[in-house]
């Protein structure tokens, strides 16, 4: 009966159009989680052809409306698209609450909000994009480095790998546009194959709780998403040009997007980045240039009930590795360390010679979703990735310089089926399954024994995560995931190693063929992993939130940990894996107290991570070879504990001035040996003062101070080596961390309006203002050279 | 229409996965014999006044594998004598052995042998052969012994050294070979 009435009302409203159709519908778009407003949301009045966007204060306005019922579709880049029914009678006011994409209960989502003039989330999203633009000539690792709790493991300055809460590589999962990156992330000198300019926003989850993506993120998950395309007839784009003094290079990136009101859209983006040799304050870091090229495109249709998207991206990066870091045995190491400056310094050049890396990554994805009325949203996704990694060492014969010493091609294909029920406000279930097939091929034409063998890997995964709102303020989340891995490898072992390790007695069954000094084996390994999460979120006093989460992560050993066997040039050491490893099991508990407010906001996030079967690599002996003496580093499983705290805080003094503070501390211990873990990020703190003036061309001036303490807890892996020239044994100090350092950076930018729809943003940055000499404990090349000196860069961004 | 689209998508994806999944070939990968490896260094010292030729050899057939190099010295050097010396480097994992000395001589600008004495051994090494730019290469040389003594004699081959240099310390580059022999002068 009521519907009839409604229909009659509606009809009469339509019929009575001529009567009075000058009403307005207005209100705000609000973030369901923290009640902050969301600017930039698109509201479409279905069937009426009216589209508006929410302004900076999250306000929207529809005018010239008649009394009656309307359907509104509300989009926001960070949120799930939702449809609301609204009844307009007279000038009506109505606020809409939107839900985030990720229910990241377990960990607070950090979005560099601190750079905004107020501690409101409405600045967060915008600043994230701005932040990314500012880093348009940097790498993903450098962007993440600005967040508390994240540091990086560097190889020189172009290979930057994120470390989350003290762990890295296979323990950090990168989800790029819904696709788990399979880019040989096991390697400590393998940087993520992602162009930051292809990203709309980044979400960091410091824990394994996002079981939808993976169950093995012992450290955390980095989720990058493309910016959402509005459903309206429009074309827009941006071009960003950066030029920098250090490295005497720059980057140019451009994006163009076309969309239609019927939901169809297409977008294309490309980046070129070229740098020559970078410079430390006192010398040129020879052979550290890099050349990155990437292009990506997507096309799709997005409606409320269904959508399909195809995405392809190509990424290629050539990276020079500091020439002075490519050395022989212990005597070279002693010379290099004692020298204080790199032993090879040449004139500046853009050429990239050996040692160098050449990485190519193809990613293709097709994804479709459909909303079923009584079930929820069903998403099906297929992705194909190919990662080809070439590493060129300095060869004995210069004729061979263009021949790679390592040539690995990793192909992965994944199929995912996800269901997201969203029936009631109180209970939400996410479940799904995934299947993956992966194949690694090591090209034998390198003439160098394979570092990683040929292998095939199958992975089946199944997960379910449910959340229940017990009260308006209290939410509980429970989830579980099961993964099965099967690895089928074809590995050549050196006969001497095979016997030395007793593998001839332990694994006689896997021998396929014996050659004069090598043995071909066929290891088949299975891993069944269980992961789980349990968490709560409690909101009180409107501005305070308390998150508590326990997550269980299980990680199967990676190919490097299982199969390594040989000399690692850039580290000047012999690395040995172990076939007998089990999965690593991590229990992480983290608590976050967050306060958001207009003038003062903070978050405090203590955590503890107990890891069983933690795989570490450590020195075990000195091996004599005809090339000299080398330290042997063997992977070993142990019990480890990591604990720490991350703090963010910001104070807004007035409309123009604000101050922010960041502090990260992590400690890691090997419980079996009762020793500190190697490569733990030293305590560091970042503080900044920001001046912003909206009236003055949106001027922003930011002074940032970065202080890194000396790591005072480290294992002593030093050793003695005989040095013929001095006719004595000398200490090879590979353990002592470098001193603490303090760096100052300045960043300014301003907006200039070019026309109605286009803006020019001009940015000027100076990093390491005082050209301070320093070395970073987490830079694998710290033994050989200082880190980067002063860099002045200019950034021009045009949006149109 | 919409369901149709989704199912087509699924079909394409599944076939793709299944096809490539099944096409896994079980062909054994080809063996890689380390091409760059140097297994053997031998130093031949021929006395200019006649007598026994002395050879110093280090052989490491498993490269950076766990087996240590086998180092042999054929005999003691005579006191107050002169020898003409020559170094040879080989890859003996191949048959016949690959003579890498030829390669070193061919790329003479990028290589240099260094001879270091330790522990009170009375030996001087000089008269090195030179590269095409007149700097030391050191594949041939002269050895002059002094009074009876014993100590270490280290032979190193450095790749891409800075030339000229005053010794290993300021040569940079990387060490391709470094062998220390225990030598006695009688």
The pLDDT tens digits for A622-640 are: 888 888 888 899 999 999 9
Q: Which residue of A has its CA nearest to B35?
A: A447
Question: Region A779-800: what's the mean pLDDT?
Answer: 93
pLDDT of residue A703: 96
Query: Would an 8 Å CB–CB cutoff place A326 in contact with chain B?
Result: yes
Other Cβ atoms closer than 10 A to A464: 17
Q: With an 8 Å Cβ cutoff, are A329 and B103 in contact?
A: no
Distant-in-sequence, close-in-space partners of B166: CB < 8 Å, separation ≥ 6: none
Chain A from 515 to 534: CB within 8 A of any B CB:
515-518, 520
Higher pLDDT, A457 or A471: A457
Higher pLDDT, A350 or A544: A350
pLDDT at B112 over 60: yes
The residue extents of the domains of chain A are: 21-98, 142-153+157-799
Q: Is A279 left (phi over 0), alpha (psi -120 to 50) or beta?
A: beta
Cα gap B170→B172, rounded to integer Å: 6
**Range name among A4-8, A24-28, A526-530, A727-731 with the lowest pLDDT average:** A4-8
Q: How far is CA A546 from the centre of its chain?
A: 25
Tell me the shortest Cα–Cα distance from A394 to chain B, in angstroms: 9
Tell me the shortest Cα–Cα distance from A180 to chain B, in angstroms: 16
Question: Region B64-68: what's the mean pLDDT?
Answer: 87
Cα gap A550→A284, rounded to integer Å: 47
In chain B, residues with a C-beta closer than 8 Å to the C-beta of A500 are 65-67
Tell me the shortest Cα–Cα distance from B100 to chain A, in angstroms: 10
Q: With an 8 Å Cβ cutoff, are B175 and A368 in contact?
A: no
Higher pLDDT, A556 or A211: A556
pLDDT of residue A116: 25
pLDDT at A230 over 70: yes
- The H or E element spanning position B161 is none
Q: Which two tokens stand for residue A416?
A: 């995912």
pLDDT at A713 over 90: yes
Which CATH superfamily does the domain covering A142-153+157-799 fall into?
A: TonB-dependent receptor, beta-barrel domain (2.40.170.20)
Higher pLDDT, A557 or A95: A557
Cα gap A122→A601, rounded to integer Å: 14
The pLDDT tens digits for A569-621 are: 667 788 999 999 999 999 999 888 888 887 888 889 899 999 999 999 988 88
pLDDT at A643 over 80: yes
Confidence bin at B57 (pLDDT 50/70/90) = very high
Confidence bin at A128 (pLDDT 50/70/90) = low
Question: Region A238-266: what's the mean pLDDT?
Answer: 94
Question: Region A51-72: what's the mean pLDDT?
Answer: 85
SS3 label, residue A108: coil
Tell me the shortest Cα–Cα distance from A382 to chain B, in angstroms: 6
Mutation target to probe the B interface, by most B beta carbons within 10 A, among A724, A725, A785 is A724
Cα gap A81→A382, rounded to integer Å: 22
Cα gap B49→B55, rounded to integer Å: 17
| Dihedral pair phi/psi, residue A696, rounded to 5° | -100, 70
Q: Which residue of A has its CA nearest to B27?
A: A490
Chain A from 562 to 621: CB within 8 A of any B CB:
566-567, 574
Confidence bin at B7 (pLDDT 50/70/90) = low
SS3 label, residue A568: strand
Q: Which residue of B has its CA nearest to A378?
A: B6
Q: Which residue's entry shows tokens 């052809």? A: A49
Mutation target to probe the A interface, by most A beta carbons within 10 A, among B65, B89, B112 is B65
Q: Which residue of B has its CA nearest to A501?
A: B66
pLDDT of residue A23: 87
Per DSSP bridges, beta strands A628-652 and A573-576 are parallel
Instruction: Please classify residue A303 by burial: count the beta carbons closer than 10 Å to its beta carbon, then call 0-12 exposed, 13-18 middle and 19+ buried.
Output: middle
In chain B, residues with a C-beta closer than 8 Å to the C-beta of A566 are 64
Q: For the whole model, what pTM was predicted?
A: 0.84
Which residue, among B108, B98, B176, B168, has the nearest Cα to B138 in the 3D structure? B108
Side-chain half-sphere exposure of A351, counting CA atoms within 13 A: 8
DSSP annotation of A18 reads G
Which residue, among A211, A219, A141, A228, has the nearest Cα to A177 in the 3D structure? A228
Chain A from 475 to 504: CB within 8 A of any B CB:
490, 492, 494-497, 500
Query: Would an 8 Å CB–CB cutoff place A630 in contact with chain B?
Result: yes
Confidence bin at A472 (pLDDT 50/70/90) = confident
Cα gap A630→A736, rounded to integer Å: 19
pLDDT at A100 over 80: no
Tell me the shortest Cα–Cα distance from A312 to chain B, in angstroms: 15
Report percent pLDDT > 70 for chain A: 92
Q: With an 8 Å Cβ cutoff, are B66 and A495 in contact?
A: no
Q: Which residue's entry shows tokens 């032993």? A: A343
Confidence bin at A723 (pLDDT 50/70/90) = confident
Q: With an 8 Å Cβ cutoff, are A396 and B36 in contact?
A: yes
Tell me the shortest Cα–Cα distance from A413 to chain B, in angstroms: 7
Q: Which residue's entry shows tokens 């004595």? A: A728
Q: Which of B2, B41, B175 sits opposite A306 (nearest CB)?
A: B2
Q: With an 8 Å Cβ cutoff, are B20 and A437 in contact?
A: yes
Q: Say if CB A294 and CB A314 are below 8 A apart.
A: yes
Q: Is the alpha carbon torsion for B40, B41, B46, B47 positive or negative? A: negative
Largest CA distance in chain A: 104
Question: Region A27-41: what's the mean pLDDT?
Answer: 76
Confidence bin at A124 (pLDDT 50/70/90) = very low
Q: With an 8 Å Cβ cutoff, are B68 and A624 in contact?
A: yes
| Dihedral pair phi/psi, residue B19, rounded to 5° | -60, -55
Higher pLDDT, B122 or A425: B122
Tell me the shortest Cα–Cα distance from A716 to chain B, in angstroms: 23
The pLDDT tens digits for A497-518 are: 999 999 999 999 999 999 988 9
Confidence bin at A46 (pLDDT 50/70/90) = confident
Question: Region A23-44: what's the mean pLDDT?
Answer: 80
Q: Which of A435, A448, A458 sits opposite B34 (nearest CB)?
A: A448
pLDDT of residue A423: 57
Cα gap B94→B34, rounded to integer Å: 10
Averaged pLDDT of chain A? 86
pLDDT at B8 over 80: no
Question: Region A277-291: what's the mean pLDDT?
Answer: 96
Cα gap A258→A267, rounded to integer Å: 6
Q: Say if CB A122 and CB A110 are below 8 A apart.
A: no
pLDDT of residue A10: 42
Higher pLDDT, A11 or A157: A157
Cα gap A38→A56, rounded to integer Å: 8
Q: Say if CB A779 and CB A156 are below 8 A apart.
A: yes
In chain A, residues with a C-beta closer than 8 Å to the C-beta of B17 are 382, 413, 415, 435, 437
CATH number of this structure's domain A21-98: 2.60.40.10
The pLDDT tens digits for A678-696 are: 999 999 999 999 999 989 9
Cα gap A347→A356, rounded to integer Å: 18
Contacts 24+ apart (CB under 8 A), B21-24: B21/A413, B21/A437, B21/A458, B24/A439, B24/A456
pLDDT of residue A106: 25
Tell me the shortest Cα–Cα distance from A764 to chain B, in angstroms: 39
Q: Which of B6, B69, B168 sits opposite A625 (nearest CB)?
A: B69
pLDDT of residue A794: 95
Question: Region A7-13: what's the mean pLDDT?
Answer: 42
Q: Is the alpha carbon torsion for A523, B16, A481, A302 positive or negative? A: positive
Q: Which residue's entry shows tokens 């308006």? A: A472
Question: Region A392-403: what's the mean pLDDT?
Answer: 79
Residue A434: beta bridge partners?
A416, A461
Cα gap A519→A449, rounded to integer Å: 12
In chain A, residues with a C-beta closer than 8 Å to the C-beta of B167 are 725
| Helix, strand and coil percent figures for chain A, each rounded to 5 | 10, 55, 35
Other Cβ atoms closer than 10 A to A630: 23
ipTM: 0.83
Q: Which residue of B has its CA nearest to A488?
A: B26
The pLDDT tens digits for A142-188 are: 888 888 888 999 998 889 999 999 999 999 999 998 899 999 998 88
Cα gap B138→B172, rounded to integer Å: 17
**Range name among A273-277, A382-386, A524-528, A586-590 with the lowest pLDDT average:** A586-590
In chain B, residues with a C-beta closer than 8 Å to the C-beta of A490 are 28-29
pLDDT of residue A761: 92
Confidence bin at A20 (pLDDT 50/70/90) = confident
Q: Which of B36, B38, B174 sits opposite A327 (nearest CB)?
A: B174
The pLDDT tens digits for A533-546 are: 888 888 888 788 88
**Range name among A227-241, A511-525, A734-748, B5-19 with the lowest pLDDT average:** B5-19
| CATH topology classification for B40-185 | Immunoglobulin-like (2.60.40)
In chain B, residues with a C-beta closer than 8 Å to the C-beta of A395 are 36
Residue A567: beta bridge partners?
A574
pLDDT of residue A371: 86
Query: Would an 8 Å CB–CB cutoff place A338 in contact with chain B?
Result: no
Q: Which residue's entry shows tokens 């229909």? A: A7
Query: Would an 8 Å CB–CB cutoff place A751 in contact with chain B?
Result: no
Q: With an 8 Å Cβ cutoff, are A623 and B64 in contact?
A: yes
Residue A611: beta bridge partners?
A586, A640
CA distances, A541 to each of A99, A100, A397, A546 (Å): 20, 21, 71, 11
Report percent pLDDT > 90 for chain A: 51
Q: Say if CB A759 and CB A236 are below 8 A apart.
A: no
């Amino acid at each position: 009966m009521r519907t009839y009435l409604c229909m009659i009302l509606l009809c009469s409203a339509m019929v009575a159009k001529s009567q009075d159709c000058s009403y307005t519908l207005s209100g705000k778009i609000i973030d369901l989680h923290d009640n902050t407003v969301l600017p930039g949301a698109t509201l479409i009045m279905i069937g009426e052809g009216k589209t508006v966007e929410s302004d900076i204060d999250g306000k929207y306005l529809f005018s010239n409306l008649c009394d009656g019922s309307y359907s509104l579709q509300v989009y926001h880049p960070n949120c799930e698209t939702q449809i609301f029914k609204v009844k307009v009678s007279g000038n009506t006011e109505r606020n809409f609450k939107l839900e985030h994409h990720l229910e990241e209960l377990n960990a607070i989502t950090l979005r560099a909000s601190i750079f905004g003039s107020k501690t409101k989330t409405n600045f967060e999203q915008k600043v994230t994009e701005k932040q990314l633009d500012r880093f348009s000539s940097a790498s993903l690792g450098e962007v993440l480095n600005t967040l508390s709790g994240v540091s990086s493991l560097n190889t020189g300055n172009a290979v930057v790998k994120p470390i989350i809460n003290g762990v890295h590589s296979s323990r950090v999962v990168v989800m790029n546009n819904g696709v788990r990156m399979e880019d040989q992330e096991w390697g400590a000198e393998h940087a993520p194959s992602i162009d930051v300019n292809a990203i709309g926003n980044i979400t960091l989850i410091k824990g394994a709780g996002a079981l939808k993506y993976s169950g093995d993120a012992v450290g955390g998950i980095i989720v990058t998403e493309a910016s959402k395309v509005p459903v309206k007839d429009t074309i827009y784009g941006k071009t960003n040009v950066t030029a920098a003094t250090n490295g005497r290079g720059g980057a140019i990136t451009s994006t163009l997007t076309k969309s239609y009101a019927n939901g169809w859209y297409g977008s294309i983006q490309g980046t070129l980045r070229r740098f020559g040799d970078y410079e430390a304050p006192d010398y040129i870091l020879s052979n550290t240039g890099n050349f990155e090229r990437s292009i990506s495109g997507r096309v799709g249709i997005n409606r409320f009930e269904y959508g399909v998207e195809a995405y392809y991206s190509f990424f290629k990066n050539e990276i020079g590795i500091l020439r002075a870091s490519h050395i022989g045995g212990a005597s070279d190491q002693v010379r290099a360390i004692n020298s204080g400056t790199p032993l090879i310094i040449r004139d500046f050049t853009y050429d990239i010679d050996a040692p160098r890396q050449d990485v190519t990554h193809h990613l293709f994805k097709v994804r479709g979703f459909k909303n079923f009325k009584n079930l929820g949203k069903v998403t099906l996704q297929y992705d194909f990735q190919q990662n080809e990694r070439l590493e060129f060492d300095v060869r004995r014969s210069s004729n061979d310089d263009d021949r790679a010493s390592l040539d690995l091609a990793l192909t992965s294909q994944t199929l995912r089926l996800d269901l997201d029920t969203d029936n009631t406000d109180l209970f939400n279930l996410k479940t799904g399954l995934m299947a993956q097939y992966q194949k690694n091929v090591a090209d034998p034409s390198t003439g160098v024994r394979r570092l990683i063998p040929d292998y095939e890997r199958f992975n089946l995964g199944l997960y379910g995560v449910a959340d229940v709102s017990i009260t308006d303020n209290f939410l509980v989340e429970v989830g579980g995931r099961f993964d099965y891995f099967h690895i089928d490898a074809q590995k050549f072992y050196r006969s001497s190693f095979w016997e030395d390790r007793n593998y001839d007695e332990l694994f006689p069954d896997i021998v396929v063929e014996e050659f004069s000094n090598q043995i071909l084996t066929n290891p088949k390994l299975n891993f069944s992993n269980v992961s789980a999460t349990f968490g709560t979120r409690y909101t009180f006093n409107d501005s305070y939130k308390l998150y508590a989460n326990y997550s269980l992560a299980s990680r199967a050993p990676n190919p490097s940990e299982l199969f390594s066997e040989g000399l690692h040039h850039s580290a000047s050491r012999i690395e040995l894996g172990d076939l007998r490893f089990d999965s690593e099991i991590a229990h992480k508990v983290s608590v976050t107290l967050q306060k958001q407010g207009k003038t003062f906001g903070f978050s405090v996030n203590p955590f503890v991570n107990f890891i069983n079967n933690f795989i570490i690599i450590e020195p075990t002996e000195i091996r004599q070879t005809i090339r000299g003496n080398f330290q042997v580093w063997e992977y070993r499983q142990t019990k480890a504990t990591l604990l720490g705290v991350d703090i963010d805080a910001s104070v807004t003094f007035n409309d123009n001035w604000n101050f922010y503070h960041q502090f990260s501390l992590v400690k890691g211990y090997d419980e079996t040996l009762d020793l500190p873990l190697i490569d733990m990020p030293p305590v560091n703190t970042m503080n900044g003062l920001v001046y912003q003036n909206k009236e003055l061309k949106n001027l922003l001036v930011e002074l940032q101070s970065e202080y890194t303490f000396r790591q005072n807890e480290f294992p002593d892996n030093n050793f003695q080596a005989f040095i013929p020239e001095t006719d004595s044994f000398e200490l090879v100090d590979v353990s002592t961390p470098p001193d603490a350092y303090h760096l100052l950076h300045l960043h300014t930018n301003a907006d200039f309006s070019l026309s109605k729809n286009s803006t020019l943003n001009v940015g000027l940055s100076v990093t390491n203002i005082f050209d301070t000499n320093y070395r970073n404990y987490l830079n694998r090349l710290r033994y050989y050279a200082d880190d980067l000196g002063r860099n002045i860069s200019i950034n021009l961004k045009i949006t149109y | 229409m919409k369901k149709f689209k989704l199912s087509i998508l699924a079909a394409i994806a599944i076939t793709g996965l299944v096809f490539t999944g099944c096409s896994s070939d079980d062909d054994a990968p080809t063996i890689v014999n380390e091409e760059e490896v140097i297994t053997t260094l031998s130093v031949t010292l021929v006395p200019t006044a006649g007598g026994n030729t002395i050879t110093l050899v280090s052989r490491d057939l498993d490269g950076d594998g766990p087996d240590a190099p086998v180092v042999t010295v054929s005999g003691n050097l005579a006191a107050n004598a002169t020898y003409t010396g020559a170094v040879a480097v080989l890859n003996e994992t191949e048959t016949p052995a690959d003579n890498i000395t030829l390669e070193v001589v061919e790329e003479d600008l990028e290589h240099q042998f260094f001879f270091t004495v330790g522990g009170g051994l009375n030996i001087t090494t000089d008269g090195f052969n030179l590269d095409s730019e007149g700097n030391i290469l050191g594949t041939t040389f002269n050895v002059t012994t002094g009074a009876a003594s014993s100590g270490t004699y280290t032979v190193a081959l450095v790749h891409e050294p800075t030339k000229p240099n005053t010794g290993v310390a300021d040569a940079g580059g990387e060490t391709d070979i470094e062998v220390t022999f225990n030598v006695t002068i009688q």
